[in-house]
Structure 1
Amino acid sequence: MSRSSFLEQAAEFLAAADADEATFAAAREAFIDYIGVALAGSQEQVARTVFGWAAARSSGREASVIGSRDRLDSEHAALCNGVAGHALDFDDTSWTTIGHPTTVVAPAALAIGESIEASGREVVVAYLAGVEVAHRLADLTMPEASQNGWHTTGIFYALGAAAAACRLLHLERHVTINALALSLSRASGIRANFGTQAKPYHAGMAARNGLEAVSLARAGLTAATEAVEGADGFIRCFAGAAQHERARLERLEFGRPYDLVQRGLAYKRYPCCSGSHPACDLLLDIVSKHGIDPEQVAEIRVGTSLLAERELVCHEPRTPVEARFSMEFALAVILVRGEVTLESFTADILADPMVRQMMARVRMTVSPRLAALGFVGTAPVEMEILLRDGRRITGSRDLAIGNPECPMSEADRQRKFLACAGRSITPGAAADLYQQLLKIDGIASVARLAALMHA
């Protein structure tokens, strides 16, 4: 007997998806991080622009917009909240997809959850299940999909958003399969748009597209059961003739264990592209150890991985948005100001003559040794600092702090949340929201949280 298709297996998994205590705790951590960065991102121009567009088109008011008292229909609320979560590039990262899961799947789960008055636990489990389905699709198509230039946040997580909604709505099996298949036709996002406002739009777009697919499937629209592995299906379109795809499909399992626990997520200490984060950690360590003054630096040579070189595309950034995708800017800010924070990405700091001077001293190239590792997302780095007195300091780092192997402390996670949320709500309200999110599994309706997510 032939094995069921990917989407049939996903539908069976979604019908009964649940989580043990440890798995739920991992999902809750991601949810809390997302809410914080979305509150901060809601104040960015890209979020305001998208909200204005969405508000003019919304057909209802069943879901909240984070950082605002306004309400929109579920699809447009998910769009806005996805953009807000990715606006600062401060949200979590999965190395399974080399993408950003929570800023897509959480907004979809929250929007549907609020519209049906689902509990906090139901929403978090739906988020967890949605990410799981997306990551098992990535197991069949990565790293080829990323190598081909796709922004994986946009191509994998429309499916994740649809899956989360299907779980919350307890749809019939055939409706779930159709919804998931329809979402695959909405998968999109190109890496050429990194360093522009289009990148956070990809996240909101994917959240909205997933919910649109569910709505259409509920209305009776049908799609292909073998939309993943069939001829000209997702695998062939996004990954080409992916090696070992059939073997990968035969080994496919959902939720045993969840990928969110098995491989985990990387949480960001810096509000910029993760491709620069190991280099930031390394330079901070070197500066601390050697007491380097920026005037002493003649040149910084940075050897990167293949992917980092394709992500960090803004070598002479002109705007704060571009600066988030600049290795040169991140390292220059560390040399001049000693840290990289939310306050680092302003026009004034970008125009600082000393920052510009230090940027010109950074030389980024692909390291042959790191290139040999393949298309990895973790952004390992090699660094050589040449000082004016003739000294040469070298170092390397494989992983940034925030990865599962070297996690942020609970205190650091809380500080990040409060700093982010404090850009949109009062410090007291931020502290209260943080405590409520820690107890989200006991919240009877996520609508209660909505009142805490705006000033």
Structure 2
Amino acid sequence: MTDRTLAQHLARFASATRFEDLPEAVVDSVGMRVLDTLGIAIAATDLETSRAAAAWAREQCGSPTASAIGLDVALPAPMAAFVNGVLAHSLDFDDTHLPSILHPSASVVPAALAAAQLHRADGRTLVRGIAIGLEVCVRLGMAGFDPAAKNSVFFEHGQHATSICGAMGGAVAAAVIGGASEERIVDTLGVAASMAAGIIEANRTGGTVKRMHCGWAAHSALAAEGLARHGITGPPTVLEGRFGFFRAWLHGAVRGDEIVDGLGTDWAVPGIFFKPYPANHFTHAAIDAGAALRRRGVSPDDIDRLVLGVPAANLRTIGEPIEVKRTPATGYMAQFSGPYAVAVGILGGGGLGAALEDYSDDLATSAERRALMAKVDVVPDSRCDEIFPQQFPAVLTATLTDGTTLVEEVLTTRGGPQRPLSFEEVSAKFTANAGPFLSDRDIAELAARCHALPDLTGIGALLEPLTAAGLQSAR
């Protein structure tokens, strides 16, 4: 550590890192994350919350410079970032970093895409901005991770680290893409810190506001970049200062070494977990465990009782209040239910584990699934506690009507470094998400462009098929 502030360390890293400095694994990972994020956003265009976000965005004024997925008009860059960020997070299908428990791409990628259109950047500049923005986002999240408690301090205070850190990372991405100097990146961080926000009570008891969080983070990122570009300045001690980011959000608890150690050499980006299933990441091992029971020939009629063992820290999100988690009122609430995840694994997913159609309101409230959920208890498991939060494990114990006991352990999370998804698997996920909205030709071309993202001369060709006209032509 030197006498430089933490924001100055990040700004030096951001301004000094060239595209040529990015490891090949980082470049490849960015392309996959853009493809993944776009597919999720496309699949979310028909949600009522997506239409609400788009309607509000269209009411705002400004220069139409950037594309919003599903809209037939260009929007001001901050508003396009807002719409695309809402879409990217609305299905809970976006990637996750562990152990910080952040969803980095849903804020950073929409912010970077809007900034790239605003500043007419090429693919190399976009990749560089996204890589740096993701790295900043993750490092801020890790600075708020408590290894002793094995949990995010943000989370303990009811704060949505994804949107808070996403606003900061997205702002740096936008500033890099806009050609900001090191000093202006410090100012951008200083401005963005006053815009970062998000509380997560909706995870527990309902409400769709969480879908807005990554959109607002991306909007804040573009606003911070623009304000700094026009002369608004921020404090260089914005992170560690007496009244700074860490004092405000983490009550002074901070691990500054997570920000500076290995900065520019040890990249977190390739290790961010892709989501194979459209639900809260805490539920994925439960889906896999339920699917494993199904593969063993177990049917709902065979089951007397199910006990889902999970890390104790996950109970509040997917197991409490248990009466709510056993009876989700909507498909959205079902995405945060451990009992529903088990039911999906046993009943749904077309043999793959889980699919978007599993999270419809009709299925979430169906008599068959509610009957199965009523048999599920969610309890803390000591073995899962030992593994968490490097993984989100689960142990499912089934007591059958004939007295037989079966146990399925899922101790690693699919989509992470131990069980990675290939580009082909991410492309298949993109195809499943975008298939109802895009032609086969557009799907293939988008996947190819993301695979060769650095070669793009402009970002318009990447987003043009995703406007309202492009999506509707395939229907």
What is the TM-score when the length of structure 2 is the normalising length? 0.90
Task: Indicate conservation of the 8 Å contact 2:290/2:343, yes or no.
Answer: no
SS in 1 for 2:39: helix
Q: Name whichever of 118-127 and 20-29 sits farther off.
A: 20-29
Alignment length (residue pairs):
449
Q: Percent identity?
A: 28
d(CA) in 1 for partners of 2:362, 2:257: 53
Residues 149-168 of structure 1 show CA distances to partners (whole Å, capped at 9, x for unaligned) of: 21111111100110001101
Once the two structures are TM-superposed, the CA of residue 223 in structure 1 deviates from its matched residue by 1.7
d(CA) in 2 for partners of 1:247, 1:68: 43
The aligned counterpart of 1:448 is 461
Residues 50-81 of structure 1 show CA distances to partners (whole Å, capped at 9, x for unaligned) of: 01011101312100011333211000000000
Once the two structures are TM-superposed, the CA of residue 205 in structure 1 deviates from its matched residue by 0.7
- Aligned-residue RMSD, C-alpha: 1.9
The aligned counterpart of 1:122 is 125
Once the two structures are TM-superposed, the CA of residue 326 in structure 1 deviates from its matched residue by 1.1
Is residue 2:250 matched to residue 1:239? yes
Cα pair distance change 1:94/1:239, threshold 3 Å: same
One of 301, 305, 328 as aligned partner of 1:295: 301
Task: Indicate conservation of the 8 Å contact 1:101/1:157, yes or no.
Answer: yes
Alignment of 1:357-396 (within 5 A): 357-371=371-385, 376=389, 378-396=391-409
Contiguous gaps of at least 5 residues in structure 1: none
Is residue 2:214 matched to residue 1:203? yes
Is residue 2:79 matched to residue 1:79? no
One of 67, 71, 84 as aligned partner of 2:70: 67
Task: Indicate conservation of the 8 Å contact 1:307/1:379, yes or no.
Answer: no
Cα pair distance change 1:208/1:382, threshold 3 Å: same
Residues 282-301 of structure 1 show CA distances to partners (whole Å, capped at 9, x for unaligned) of: 2212321x210111111110
The aligned counterpart of 1:167 is 176
Instruction: Name the aligned partner's letter for residue 323 of structure 1.
Output: A
Once the two structures are TM-superposed, the CA of residue 360 in structure 1 deviates from its matched residue by 0.7
Once the two structures are TM-superposed, the CA of residue 43 in structure 1 deviates from its matched residue by 2.2
Task: Indicate conservation of the 8 Å contact 2:330/2:365, yes or no.
Answer: no
Is residue 2:419 matched to residue 1:416? no
Once the two structures are TM-superposed, the CA of residue 246 in structure 1 deviates from its matched residue by 5.3
d(CA) in 2 for partners of 1:160, 1:333: 34
Instruction: Name the aligned partner's letter for residue 358 of structure 1.
Output: L
One of 329, 343, 354 as aligned partner of 2:357: 343
SS in 2 for 1:64: coil
Instruction: Name the aligned partner's letter for residue 326 of structure 1.
Output: S
Task: Indicate conservation of the 8 Å contact 1:67/1:425, yes or no.
Answer: no
SS in 1 for 2:201: helix
- 4+ residue segments displaced more than 6 Å: none
Task: Indicate conservation of the 8 Å contact 1:145/1:238, yes or no.
Answer: yes
Residues 128-185 of structure 1 show CA distances to partners (whole Å, capped at 9, x for unaligned) of: 1111112222232213222322111111110011000110111133222111111112
The aligned counterpart of 2:149 is none
Once the two structures are TM-superposed, the CA of residue 395 in structure 1 deviates from its matched residue by 2.6
Contiguous gaps of at least 5 residues in structure 2: 146-151
Alignment of 1:397-408 (within 5 A): 397-408=410-421
Once the two structures are TM-superposed, the CA of residue 441 in structure 1 deviates from its matched residue by 1.5
Task: Indicate conservation of the 8 Å contact 2:102/2:138, yes or no.
Answer: no
Once the two structures are TM-superposed, the CA of residue 248 in structure 1 deviates from its matched residue by 4.8
Is residue 2:275 matched to residue 1:268? yes
SS in 1 for 2:103: coil
Instruction: Name the aligned partner's letter for residue 433 of structure 2.
Output: C
One of 301, 310, 314 as aligned partner of 1:304: 310
Is residue 2:223 matched to residue 1:212? yes
Once the two structures are TM-superposed, the CA of residue 348 in structure 1 deviates from its matched residue by 2.2
One of 26, 35, 39 as aligned partner of 2:38: 35
d(CA) in 1 for partners of 2:360, 2:61: 32
Instruction: Name the aligned partner's letter for residue 299 of structure 1.
Output: R
Instruction: Name the aligned partner's letter for residue 185 of structure 2.
Output: T
d(CA) in 2 for partners of 1:291, 1:44: 35
Task: Indicate conservation of the 8 Å contact 1:136/1:252, yes or no.
Answer: no
SS in 2 for 1:97: coil
